[in-house]
Structure 1
Amino acid sequence: MIDPRPITLIVGALTTGLGAAMLAPALLDILLGNPHWQVFVASSLFTMLTGSMLFLSAQGSAGQMNLRQAFIMTVAAWVSLVGFGAIPFYLSGVVPSITDAVFESMSGLTTTGATVIVGLDNAPPGILFWRGLQQWLGGLGIIVMAVAVLPMLQIGGMQLFKVEAFETPDKILPRATQISGSMTMIYLIFTTLCMIAYWAAGMRMTDALIHAMTTVATGGFSTKDGSIGHFDSAAIDMIGITFMLAGSLPFLLYVQAVQGRTSILWRDSQVKAFMLTVFALVLVAWIYEHARGFNPGIEGLRYAAFNVISIMTGTGYATTDYGAWGPFAVTFFFVIMFIGGCAGSTSCGIKIFRFQVLYQNVRQHLSRIVYPNGIFVTRFNGRKLPDSVSGAVMSFFFLYLCSVAVLAVALSFTGLDDLTAISGAATAISNVGPGLGDIIGPSGNFKPLNDTAKWLLTAGMLMGRLELFTVLVLFLPRFWRA
Structure 2
Amino acid sequence: MFKLFRPLLFVYGVLLLCMSVLMAGVTLFAGLTGDSEFRVFLVSSCAVFVTGALLTVIFHTRRFQLVSRQLYLLTTFSWVIMSLAGALPFYFSHYPLTVTDSIFEAVSGITTTGSTVISGLETLPESLLLWRSLLQWLGGLGVIGMAVSILPFLQVGGMRLFQTESSDWSDKSLPRLQDLARALLLTYLALTLACTTSYWLAGMTPFDAVNHAMTTVSTGGYATDDRSMGRFSPTILWISILFMLLGALPFVMIIGFLRKPSLVRLKDQQARGFVLIVATLALSQTLFLILYNKEDAFDALTQSVFNLMSVITTTGYASADYSSWGTFSFVLFFLATFIGGCSGSTSGGMKIFRFQLSSMFLKSQIHKLIHPSGVFSIRYNQKVVQDDIMLSAVAFSFMFFVALGVITSLLSMFGLDFITSLSGAATALTNVGPGLGDIIGPAGNFQPLPDGAKWLLAFAMILGRLELLTVMVLFTPMFWRG
TM bucket (normalised to shorter chain) is over 0.9
Per-residue CA distance 1:170-226 (angstroms, 9 max, x = gap): xxxx94432121111111111111111111111110011000000000000000000
Question: Is the 1:15–1:48 contact (alpha carbons within 8 Å) kept by the matching residues of 2?
Answer: yes
Question: Is the 2:136–2:218 contact (alpha carbons within 8 Å) kept by the matching residues of 1?
Answer: yes
1:356 aligns with 2:381: no
Calculate the TM-score normalised by the size of structure 2. 0.96
Give the aligned partner of residue 171 of structure 2.
Answer: none
Per-residue CA distance 1:323-380 (angstroms, 9 max, x = gap): 1111221111011010000000001100011111111111111111111111211011
Give the aligned partner of residue 388 of structure 2.
Answer: 388
Query: 1:263 Cα deviation (Å)?
Result: 2.6
Query: 1:230 Cα deviation (Å)?
Result: 2.0
Per-residue CA distance 1:16-45 (angstroms, 9 max, x = gap): 101111112212212211121111111111
Give the aligned partner of residue 224 of structure 1.
Answer: 225
Per-residue CA distance 1:107-126 (angstroms, 9 max, x = gap): 00000000001110010000
Give the aligned partner of residue 205 of structure 1.
Answer: 206
- Aligned AA (2:420): T
Counterparts in 2 of 1:315-354, with a 5 A limit?
315-354=315-354
Structure-2 change in CA distance of 1:145 and 1:26 (3 Å): same
Q: Distance in 1 between matches of 2:384 and 2:464?
A: 28
Give the aligned partner of residue 89 of structure 1.
Answer: 90
Counterparts in 2 of 1:51-450, with a 5 A limit?
51-60=52-61, 63-162=64-163, 175-231=176-232, 233-260=233-260, 262-293=262-293, 295-450=295-450
Give the aligned partner of residue 26 of structure 1.
Answer: 27
Query: 1:259 Cα deviation (Å)?
Result: 2.6
Q: Distance in 1 between matches of 2:361 and 2:203?
A: 48
Q: Distance in 1 between matches of 2:7 and 2:160?
A: 23
Figure out how many residues of one structure are paired with residues of the other and give that number: 475
Calculate the TM-score normalised by the size of structure 1. 0.96
Query: 1:157 Cα deviation (Å)?
Result: 4.7
Q: Distance in 1 between matches of 2:264 and 2:59?
A: 41
Give the aligned partner of residue 172 of structure 2.
Answer: none
Structure-2 change in CA distance of 1:353 and 1:281 (3 Å): same
- Aligned AA (1:350): M
Question: Is the 1:9–1:62 contact (alpha carbons within 8 Å) kept by the matching residues of 2?
Answer: no
- The more displaced of 351-360 and 453-462 is 351-360
Q: Please state whether the residue corresponding to 1:437 is helix, strand or coil.
A: coil
Q: Please state whether the residue corresponding to 1:440 is helix, strand or coil.
A: coil
Q: Distance in 2 between matches of 1:38 and 1:475?
A: 40
Q: Distance in 2 between matches of 1:245 and 1:192?
A: 16
Q: Distance in 2 between matches of 1:107 and 1:439?
A: 17
Question: Is the 2:252–2:344 contact (alpha carbons within 8 Å) kept by the matching residues of 1?
Answer: yes
Question: Is the 1:294–1:300 contact (alpha carbons within 8 Å) kept by the matching residues of 2?
Answer: no
Question: Is the 1:142–1:346 contact (alpha carbons within 8 Å) kept by the matching residues of 2?
Answer: yes
Query: 1:431 Cα deviation (Å)?
Result: 0.2
Structure-2 change in CA distance of 1:83 and 1:238 (3 Å): same
Structure-2 change in CA distance of 1:380 and 1:469 (3 Å): same
Q: Distance in 2 between matches of 1:156 and 1:29?
A: 39
- The more displaced of 102-111 and 249-258 is 249-258
- Aligned AA (1:238): W
Q: Distance in 2 between matches of 1:423 and 1:226?
A: 20
Per-residue CA distance 1:39-97 (angstroms, 9 max, x = gap): 11111111111112112222225631100000001011110000000000000032420
Percent identical across equivalent pairs? 43
Question: Is the 1:148–1:163 contact (alpha carbons within 8 Å) kept by the matching residues of 2?
Answer: no
Query: 1:166 Cα deviation (Å)?
Result: 7.4
Q: Please state whether the residue corresponding to 1:3 is helix, strand or coil.
A: helix
Q: Distance in 1 between matches of 2:9 and 2:442?
A: 40
Unaligned runs of 5+ in 1: 168-173
Q: Distance in 1 between matches of 2:370 and 2:416?
A: 47
Q: Distance in 2 between matches of 1:166 and 1:20?
A: 32
Unaligned runs of 5+ in 2: 169-174
Question: Is the 2:113–2:461 contact (alpha carbons within 8 Å) kept by the matching residues of 1?
Answer: yes
- The more displaced of 369-378 and 308-317 is 369-378
Q: Please state whether the residue corresponding to 1:244 is helix, strand or coil.
A: helix
Structure-2 change in CA distance of 1:15 and 1:262 (3 Å): farther
